[in-house]
Structure 1
């Protein structure tokens, strides 16, 4: 029980990688608030962990909504120890086709959402003597690919924001790291694998020869959020099975 007695907020926590991270935290003894615009089927997870999981409707692009998320978490569980800034969207498209609205939606959700979450959580964590923040990046933050300009740019910015936050918040006892998943059997990764022609190209770029499992990302998040990751700060941990890249 690596996270017993801790309280965590996971944005975008009701499906995909966010849900996988939330479930791993629960398995390790944490109380978790899953913040998202839609609860989806998170009640199934709550029923398996009575009293330790809450859903909170949240828009990570709205500062009042994010502030309310943090205040509600503190009111219900007595504090906040871990924040996972996971909520994100992808509006993939080549630059000449990408609309301004699509660009703004991607950057606001993926980057501004991380800023708002960090800004709201940091004072609460500091009052308790410290905490952990884990930001979710992506393998394409450092590997250029056609049609991913908005998503890749936003995730690259998340990685630099992570490093800057680590420097600023370290004196308050707050450790900030990022996870950069590769192709995972969830969401966009699953879509890649479902297209035989596309999958044949990407499969050969993975030393593991397979998609990653969501729980493998969850386990990496537990490492960064728990006591075993106490001396890791300002780091981007790639969880991609050895993803190589050409062009």
Structure 2
């Protein structure tokens, strides 16, 4: 029970890696407020986790929505100790065919959304005395890939934002670290694996010869959120089975 009595907020936590992280936190004793936007997110609210998890509709692109999310978490569970800024989108396509609307949507969610989550979380995490912020990058944050200009750009920015935030927030007793998953058998990873031509290209690049599991990424998040990660700060933790480009 590495997270006993901790309160966490996980954005984009109703599906994919966000849900796996939520489940991992609850299994380790945390109480979790799960956030997602729109009716689709509400439909996926993690009711199977009982009273250890609560769903709050929030849109990370909107500062007021994030402010309300953090306030709701503190009101319900008495404070906030961990924030996992997981919400993100991808709009793939070649640069010449990428609309400005899609480009802006990815930046607004993946980067502006992260800014809102971190800024609004600071007052709560400072009160915690052992606050933790975990951001989510991707293997594509450090490995250029055709057709992924917006996603690669935002994830690279997430990693540098994490390092700067770690320097600035350390005096407040808050650590800021980044998880960088590789190919994981969740969400977009499932689609990639199902495409035989694409998987034949990327599968051999993984030293362990397989996709990762959502639970393996979640366990890394637990490590960073728990006391075990108290002296890790400003780090980008790759969880990718030994991925070489």
TM-score (norm 2): 0.97
1:41 aligns with 2:48: no
- Quote the Cα distance in structure 1 between the aligned partners of 2:178 and 2:43: 26
Give unpaired runs (5+ residues) of structure 2: none
Of 31-40 and 122-131, deviating more is: 122-131
Tell me the equivalent position of 1:207: 207
Tell me the equivalent position of 2:133: 133
- Quote the Cα distance in structure 2 between the aligned partners of 1:122 and 1:174: 8
- Quote the Cα distance in structure 1 between the aligned partners of 2:177 and 2:46: 29
- Which consecutive aligned stretches of 4+ in structure 1 deviate over 4 angstroms post-superposition? none
Tell me the equivalent position of 2:55: 55
RMSD: 0.9
Over 3 Å counting, the alpha-carbon distance change for 1:234 and 1:43 in structure 2 is: closer
Tell me the equivalent position of 1:242: 242
Residue 18 of structure 1 aligns to a residue whose secondary structure is: helix
- Quote the Cα distance in structure 2 between the aligned partners of 1:40 and 1:186: 18
Tell me the equivalent position of 1:185: 185
- Quote the Cα distance in structure 1 between the aligned partners of 2:198 and 2:128: 48
Tell me the equivalent position of 2:73: 73
Give 1:42 deviation, angstroms: 2.8
For 1:47-126, list aligned pairs within 5 A: 50-126=50-126
1:155 aligns with 2:158: no
Of 210-219 and 124-133, deviating more is: 124-133
Give 1:96 deviation, angstroms: 0.4
Give 1:51 deviation, angstroms: 1.9
Tell me the equivalent position of 1:3: 3
- Quote the Cα distance in structure 2 between the aligned partners of 1:28 and 1:199: 34
Would the aligned equivalents of 1:23 and 1:45 in 2 still touch at CA under 8 Å?
no
- Quote the Cα distance in structure 2 between the aligned partners of 1:28 and 1:93: 39
Tell me the equivalent position of 2:223: 223
- Quote the Cα distance in structure 2 between the aligned partners of 1:40 and 1:243: 35
Give unpaired runs (5+ residues) of structure 1: none
Give 1:193 deviation, angstroms: 0.7
Over 3 Å counting, the alpha-carbon distance change for 1:74 and 1:44 in structure 2 is: closer
Residue 42 of structure 2 aligns to a residue whose secondary structure is: coil
- Quote the Cα distance in structure 1 between the aligned partners of 2:31 and 2:138: 26
Deviation by residue 1:84-117 (Cα, 9 ceiling, x = unmatched) = 0000000011110000000000011001111100
- Quote the Cα distance in structure 1 between the aligned partners of 2:160 and 2:31: 29
